[in-house]
Chains A and B, each alone.
Chain A
Amino acid sequence: MAPTARLAAALIVIVGLALAGGSRGASAANDELVIGLSQFPSTFHPNIDPMMAKTYILGMTRRPLTAYDKDWGLVCMLCVELPTVENGLAVPETTPDGKRGVAVTFTIPEEAVWGDGEPITTEDVIFTWQIGRHPKSGVGNAEFYRSLYSIDAHDSKTFTLHFDKLTFDYNAIALSLVPEHLDRAKFADPQEYKHRTTFDTDTANAGLYFGPYLIADVVSGSHVVLEPNPKWWGAKPRFKRIMVRVVENTAALEANLLSGAIDMIAGEVGIAIDQALAFEKRHGQRFDIRYKPGLIYEHIDLNLDNPILADKRVRKALVFALDREAISRQLFEGRQPVAHSNVNPLDWVFAEEGLRYAYDPGRADRLLDEAGWSTMLDGVRHNADGAPLRFEIMTTAGNRTRELVEQVLQSQWKARGIDVRIRNEPARVFFGKTVTERRFGAMAMFAWISSPESVPRTTLHSAHIPMSENNYGGQNYTGFKNAEVDSLVERIEVELDRETRRGLWHRLQEIYVDELPVIPLYFRANAFVLPRWLAGVEPTGHQYPTTLWVETWRTAP
């Protein structure tokens, strides 16, 4: 065959293929839903290597004991009744080594079974705890399992957890069960468990799941197919099949949405807010786009070892010089609220009457003059020794939103004579060494994600300042030391009385805003791009994903 003829034949095949299929729109059927994510999980084991993409997918297939709902209230997910001190299911006690602990009793619903029909029992709870406690199992944050020092199994469904510390969130137990009947043998060699767990060797095994859906198929890096779990005891899910497709390039994710290859983009692991805003302008009439501000706190950590930033007046001037409301309005159309402290205004412990930093350039100038930065040379403030008021700001290179914000901050500071230079690094370098080993000279911009009423022990307590002596453990990257804050953090953790705790939280915020170890910027909003025919998706704004309530998703009437 001549080359031209071969080319013609190839073109005919291509056109034929195109016409034979046509682009699939899941919405056409409405009994299938295709969700676009921008990340693929590294493992499907619920307790190893935490990742939001995994939490999102597993939310459809399994449930923690308790979770915070969309109203940020704690609810039972795999228990009959939420244990409290008031109902007697949580009882303060003294631990065998004399500490103040608590015993919390849960009962698993009688009808709760794994996807293969095996009942979910206290054996699964104990097995999950054994995995979490074992130093070689690969579980990351093992603090919970250490604190849980024993479990009493009363019968196959009821058990009591004994913790060596009585904290206010004693009943917020995000324990995600591992099926003892499938994984016990795999755990025979704990060091090899992370490689042998059924979650990764046989991911589509029904016995791993007990939610409204089961994972039916997984193609690593590409997609996950979920089908209804016939053994699920709760409300029946409406979709016959849900496919989670991973498209890491967010521009391509948008194109997939427009082409109908996916129906929705998950807010939890989807597109950035600036992209969503631009998308809304072009295609807002076709989709239901929702913005849910939440517990992702964008801020700038200030290195308090920097002699200039050690001066509180300079730190305050830096904030007074910023028009953060204008940044939120201009860049995010007001969808991402300005942060006044590390506590989200949606959190019940937020201090409504607390100190606020409004844009006040005059005050910023006065504070800088007072601090000795009063000589202006070439548009930059200098002190009496002739040193310029100059810093470096760093963030994750390639994060378009942060880079944009960074430029606006730089220009606003420049107007006050503060010379801020941008030096960004790839995320793995930035988080790998620069931030974690406090190698940033002055400012590091990034975000923390937390749960409702999350106590900032690791980020504010002086015992958590990373240094070579503690092998750079802890996340108090600013190097903040304040005895009263240390005490408040410790007291908040163990205070059960809500009103007393609220007072402690308010005092903590007062000090935080006055001392300013961190420049609060805004609370990030997740953008959910949903088809107009889909109802029941309720963004939560915290780390518990919408998929934990997937059985309420339905086609709109």
Chain B
Amino acid sequence: MIRYLTGRLFQSLVVLAVMSFVIYALMGLMPGDPVDLMISADPDVTPADAARLRALYGLDQPVLQRYGNWLAAALSGDLGYSRTHARPVLDVLWPALGNTARLLGAALILSLAVGLPAGIVAATRPHSAIDYTINLMAFAGVSVPPFWLALLLIILFAVMLGVLPAGGIGALAGGGFWESARFAVLPVASLTLASIGGHTRYARAAMIETLRQDFIRTARAKGLSRARVVVGHALRNAMIPVVTIVALEFGYLFSGALITETVFAFPGMGKLIFDAIMGNDFNLALVALLFATALTLFGNFLADAAYVWLDPRISFRSANV
């Protein structure tokens, strides 16, 4: 167990180190820099000003040297300042991370709460009317463009019915849990509706595959009820591929949902990362992306642990292979 954990930690650190360089290098290779954007906004910025600002922000150095400087500072605990927010990177990151985790966490729980039972019901009655109905709705959910769904919800609940706010995170009413929750309803609903379909399809496919296994036939032959076979024997095995998907979504939880956050003016990680990349905010983009990478790795570790729990044939020793 300890050997396994040590190995995973080492692998994760290597992945993070490689990712930090790849992200920095890719951003460095993008044309233009913040000073170019500044010049395009102000025709009076002189060449001398441009050169001075490039030197000030270290943009006159080669990418490799800039990366080295960043790495040395990061290893000493200084993650630097966000250029586009004029604040320390972590000060910018934490609130966005919290917002996104709440938003996507709620959406994930809700979509699993609906999608998994729906997929299981469909799988236990393949090619029935209920299976076709669930499939149809799942395909509709998967096919609907997120921005369209978000705008549709805004038009319906905020514009036509006027019962929910169209976006933002609330401030005028003084805040509080219920006020924040009201502002979260539409974005959470939008993300939930968009992901229920996927979860339903995964759950259905995994369950159908499991229900074809020999041990299920044995359980049925022993005279167990249908519900007992599905819940007691098939469900746990069918969860293994679903856990993989959920584990991958764990990283997504913290990297945000760009389109939904943009449409609902929700200050989360997706928007933060996008703006940081487009605004050449190296520090912020790098740290945010590394954070998402680290959490994805952590999610995968949790998935491995869940495999061991779900299937006794898998052990930490074998999972390490």
**Cβ A200 vs Cβ B87 within 8 A:** yes
Q: Which range contains the number of B residues in contact with the other chain?
A: 35 or more
- Say if the beta carbon of B45 comes within 8 Å of chain A: yes
Q: Is the CB of B157 within 8 A of A7?
A: no
Complex interface: chain B residues within 8 A of A219 (CB): 95, 169, 171, 267
User: Restricting to A444-470, which residues have a CB under 8 Å from any CB of B?
Assistant: 446, 448-450, 458-459, 470
Min Cβ gap B284→A in Å is 11
Q: A140-B49, A142-B52, A259-B154 are in contact. Are A20 and B178 (CB under 8 A)?
A: yes
When chains A and B are docked, how far (Å) is the Cα of A436 from the Cα of B41?
12
Contact mask for chain B residues 71-97; partner A; CB cutoff 8 A; 1 contact, 0 none? 000000000010111111000100110
Chain A residues within an 8 Å CB radius of B84: 42
Q: Are A259 and B162 in contact (CB under 8 A)?
A: yes
Q: B30 touching A428 by the CB < 8 A rule?
A: yes
A459-B43, A473-B48 as given contacts; A18 in contact with B157, CB under 8 Å: yes
B154 & A252 in contact (Cβ 8 Å cutoff): yes
User: Which residues 229-261 in A have Cβ within 8 Å of B in the complex?
Assistant: 241, 243, 245-249, 251-252, 255-256, 258-261
- Contact between chains at B37 and A23 (CB < 8 Å): no
Rounded to whole angstroms, the CA-CA distance of A252 and B185 in the bound complex is 16
Nearest to A475 among chain B residues (CB) is B43
Contact partners of B25 in chain A: CB under 8 A: none
Contact mask for chain A residues 4-15; partner B; CB cutoff 8 A; 1 contact, 0 none: 101100100110
A interface, over-half SS: mixed
Which of B112-128 touch A at CB < 8 Å? 113-114, 116-117
From B6-14, B258-266, B307-315, give the one contacting chain A.
B258-266
The closest CB in chain B to the CB of A142 belongs to: B49
Q: Shortest beta-carbon distance, B232 to chain A, in Å?
A: 16
Inter-subunit contact A436/B40 (CB<8 Å):
yes
A286 to chain B, nearest CB (A): 12
* Residue A431 CB within 8 A of the other chain: yes
Cβ of B163: which chain A residues have Cβ within 8 Å of it?
18-19, 21-23
| A317 cross-chain contacts in B, Cβ below 8 A | none
Q: Do residues B46 and A143 form an inter-chain contact, with CB atoms below 8 A? A: yes
Report B181 CB to chain A, min CB distance, Å: 6
A432 to B41, CA, bound (A): 12
Instruction: Assess whether B96 is in contact with A221, with CB atoms less than 8 Å apart.
Output: yes
- B49 with A23: CB separation less than 8 A: no
Residue of A nearest to B150 (CB): A252
CB neighbours (8 Å) of B44 from chain A are 141, 143, 458
> Given the complex, which residues of A lie within 8 Å of B46, measured CB to CB?
141-143, 458, 473
**Complex formed: what's the CA distance from A433 to B279 in Å?**
15
Number of CB contacts from chain A to chain B under 8 A: 226
Q: Which residue of B lies closest to A143 (CB)?
A: B46
Majority-rule SS of B interface residues: helix
Contacts of A221 in B (CB 8 A): 96, 267, 271-272, 275
In the complex, the answer to whether B47 meets A471 with C-beta atoms within 8 Å is yes
The answer to the question of A150 belonging to the interface, with a C-beta cut-off of 8 Å to chain B, is no
User: Which one of A10, A32, A136, A433 lies within 8 Å of B172 (CB-CB)?
Assistant: A32
B43 touches A450 (CB 8 A): yes
Which of the candidate stretches A45-53, A91-99, A176-184, A407-415 sits at the interface with the other chain? Answer: A45-53
Contact, CB under 8 Å: A252 / B33: no
Contact B171 A21 (CB under 8 A): no
Verify if B221 is at the interface (C-beta below 8 Å from A).
no
Whether the Cβ atoms of B42 and A220 lie closer than 8 Å is no
Residues in B neighbouring A260, C-beta threshold 8 A:
162
Known A24-B173, A141-B45, A220-B85; contact A17-B182, beta-carbon cutoff 8 A: yes
Known A20-B182, A200-B86; contact A261-B49, beta-carbon cutoff 8 A: no
B258-291 near A? 1/0 per residue, CB < 8 Å: 0000111111000110010011100000000000
- Taking a contact as CB atoms closer than 8 A, the residue among A17, A245, A252 that contacts B262 in the complex is A252
Residues 156-175 of chain B, each 1 if its beta carbon lies under 8 Å from chain A, else 0: 01110011111111011100
Instruction: Determine how close the nearest CB of chain B comes to the CB of A88; give it in whole angstroms.
Output: 29
Q: What chain B residues lie within 8 Å of A255 (beta carbons)?
A: 151, 154-155, 158-159, 166-167
11 more A-B residue pairs beyond the given contacts A23-B162, A143-B44, A195-B88, with a C-beta to C-beta distance below 8 A? A7-B114, A17-B181, A18-B163, A24-B173, A140-B53, A223-B168, A252-B265, A255-B166, A428-B278, A432-B32, A446-B40
B: residues with CB less than 8 A from A are 30-33, 36-53, 56, 81, 83-88, 92, 95-96, 110, 113-114, 116-117, 147, 150-151, 154-155, 157-159, 162-169, 171-173, 178-179, 181-182, 185, 189, 262-267, 271-272, 275, 278-280
- 5 cross-chain pairs, A with B, having the tightest CB-CB distances, nearest first: A432-B32, A473-B47, A259-B158, A221-B267, A431-B40
